[in-house]
Structure 1
Amino acid sequence: MNGIQDGVAVVTGAGSGIGRQTAIRFAEEGASVVVADVDEEGGDETVGTIRDEGGEATFVRTDVTDGDDVDAMVQTALDEYGGLDFAHNNAGIADEGTRLAEYDESEWDRMIDINLKGVWRCLKAEIPEMIEQGGGAIVNTSSVAGVSANGSAHYAASKHGVIGLTRRATVDYADDGIRFNAVCPGVIDTPMVQQASEDNTEEMEQITASIPAGRLGTPEDIASTVVWLCSDDSSYVMGQPIVIDGGLLAQ
C-alpha cells in the first residue's frame, strides 16, 4: 500500500483481535511494527506470526493507563526502528451492558481511564515524535457506540470522546503534517465477542441477523481500513470517524 513500505508503526491492544490483525497487516505492507499490549503471551504470539511471515516486529508490554509504559512504547519504536510513522491506538475494554445509574464510580473511572484517557496518553507520546520527523498518521479506535446510543453510558461516553480527541488533534496538528482519523467498528468477531456469544447464543444470533451484511465483521475488515487510513491513498481523509459495521447503523 502506497506509503506504508519501510515505515514504523505502533499498535496498542495488539495481542489479539483487531489490534493483532492491524499489526499483521502493517507488517504485510512492509512496515516494522511495535506490538503493544498488557497481554504478554498474546503479544508474543502476534510478533511470532509476523516474524514467521518474514516481517519485523517487537513486543513491548504496555498498560495504556500508565504514562511511563506508553512513553516506553514510543521509545521502543525509536530505539528499535529509528522513528515513528504510524500509530493505531486501539487498546480498550468492552462495556457490561448496564444502565447509567446501575454501575458505580469505579467502573466509570476504569472505562474512561482505558478507553479515552489511554488514547490521550498515546497521542501525547506519539505526536511530538511525529512532529520531530515531519509528520505521520494516527488512527484511534472508537466504535459505533461513538456515533450512536449503542452500548452503556460509560462505554458510549468513552467512545464519543475518542472521536472528539481525533477531531481536535486534526485541527491542532494539521500544519505539522500529522493526519488523525478514527475507526468505528460494529459487532466484530473478536475474542470478547466470542465470549459474549458463548454466554448468550440466542442474543448473538439475533444481533447477527440484524446486520444487513448478514455476518459479524472480522478483525481483518477493520485492519485493512486502519492501514489504508495511514497510507498515502487516504491523504485527504482527516478527522473522520469511519464506521465499519456491515450496515448496522444504516437502518
Structure 2
Amino acid sequence: MNNVEERIAIVTGGASGIGQECVRQLRAAGWRVVVWDRSEQEGGVAVNIADYAAVAAVAKQLDGVDLLINAAGIAGGREPVAEKDPAEWDSVLAVNLGGTFYCSHALYPQLRKKRGVIVNVASVAGTVMMKGRAHYAVSKAAVATLTRSLANEWASDGIRVIAVAPGYVKTPMIQRSIEAGELSEEKLAAMHPMNRLASTQEIAAAMIALAQPPFQFMTGEIVTIDGGMTLGK
C-alpha cells in the first residue's frame, strides 16, 4: 500500500455498526474514507449497493482504491423457512451477497491500480445453524465462498481478499432488538464460551489490521472472531 496520506478506503454500510466503527478507526489513522450507504453521510455518497448500475456509477468517479470494506448488510426476520416471505429472502441475498459482489466487481479496476485489499463481513451464521436464520446464513456462507473465489482470481492482480466471520456483535441493530425484548443479551452471550458479545471496536480493529502490510501474504482466509462460539461448550 502507499503512504498514509494517499490511502483511500471505501466502506459500505459506514453509517452504523461495524462499518461506522471502521470509518472512525480508519480516519483516526489518517485514511481518506468514502462511505457508501443508503443515506448520504459526511465524506460519503448515498448508494443502494443492491443496484449494480448505481454502484458502477459511483465507482467510476474514483481513481484508485487501497481498501474496500464490505460491511453493509441486513438481517431480516426470524421466521422459519416454511413461513419466510420470498421477498425478504431476495432482499437479504441482494444486499449481503449481491452488494458484496457488486462493490467488489465495480471497484476491481481501482483496486488493481493500487494493489488493494478487500475485507468482507461474513458470519459464524454461515457455519453454525440457527433456526429462523436460513436467509442470513445462506447469504453469509456465500460471502465466504465469494471471498475465496475473488482471492483466487485476483491474486495475480495484487489484490488480497479476506473476510472476518464474527459471532454476535453488539451493534445498534442488536441493541435495539435487545431493548425491544426480541433478543436476550444473556442468552446471546451464553452462546459464546467467553460469555459476552463482541464490540464493534474489536471487529473493526481486526478488519483494519488484516488489511495492513504485515498480513500481505494472507488472502482467501475467513478469519473467525467469535469468542469461541464455533468451538462448542
Q: Is the 8 A contact 2:13 2:72 kept in 1?
A: yes
User: Match of 2:87?
Assistant: 106
Aligned partner letter, 1:99: P
Matching residue's letter, 2:53: D
Amino acid at match of 1:69: A
For residues 184 and 95 of structure 1, the distance between their equivalents in structure 2, rounded to whole angstroms, comes to 18
Calculate the aligned-residue CA RMSD, in Å: 1.8
Q: How does 1:195-214 map to 2 (within 5 A)?
A: 195-200=176-181, 203-214=184-195
Offset at residue 4 of structure 1 (A): 6.8
Which of 173, 198, 207 is matched with 2:154 structurally?
Answer: 173
Distance 1:244 1:102, change over 3 A: same
Structure 2 Cα separation of the partners of residues 153 and 211 of structure 1 = 20
1:160: which partner in 2?
141
Does residue 66 of structure 1 match 2:51?
A: yes
Kindly indicate which of the two structures has a greater share of residues assigned to helix.
1
TM-score of the aligned structures, taking structure 1 as reference length: 0.86
Question: Are the counterparts in 2 of residues 3 and 232 from structure 1 also a CA contact under 8 Å?
Answer: no
Given candidates 110, 113, 126, the residue that maps to 1:146 is 126
Residues 193, 228 of structure 2: 8 Å contact kept: yes
Rounded Cα–Cα distance in structure 2 between residues aligned with 1:161 and 1:211? 23
- With structure 2 as the length reference, what TM-score do the two structures score? 0.92
SS at 1:106 equivalent = helix
Following TM superposition, the consecutive aligned residue runs of length 4 or more in structure 1 with deviations greater than 6 angstroms are none
Structure 1 counterpart of 2:189, one-letter code: T
**Matches of 2:2 and 2:127 in 1, distance apart?**
29
Aligned to 2:107: 126
Which is further off, 207-216 or 166-175? 207-216
Change (3 A) 1:21 1:134: closer
- Partners of 1:95 and 1:104 lie apart in 2 by 10
Range 182-191 or range 147-156, more displaced? 147-156
Match of 2:26 in 1: 26
Percent identity at matched positions? Answer: 37
Distance, in Å, in 2 between the alignment partners of 1:207 and 1:18 is: 18
- 1:11 matched to 2:11? The reply is yes
Residues 102-143 of structure 1, C-alpha deviations (whole Å, 9 max, x = no match): 112211111111111111101111112222x15110011111
**Unpaired segments ≥5 residues, structure 2:** none
- Measure, in 2, the Cα distance between the counterparts of 1:157 and 1:177: 29
Give the superposition deviation at 1:11: 0.1
1:148-189 deviation per Cα after TM superposition (whole angstroms, max 9, x unaligned): 213611111100000111000011010000000011111111
Deviation (angstroms), 1:75: 3.5
Tell me how far apart the structure 2 counterparts of residues 13 and 163 of structure 1 sit (CA, whole Å).
18
| SS of residue in 2 equivalent to 1:83 | coil
Q: How many residues align?
A: 230
Q: Aligned to 1:241, which of 222, 227, 231?
A: 222
Partner of 1:51: none
Instruction: Quote the Cα distance in structure 2 between the aligned partners of 1:83 and 1:12.
Output: 17
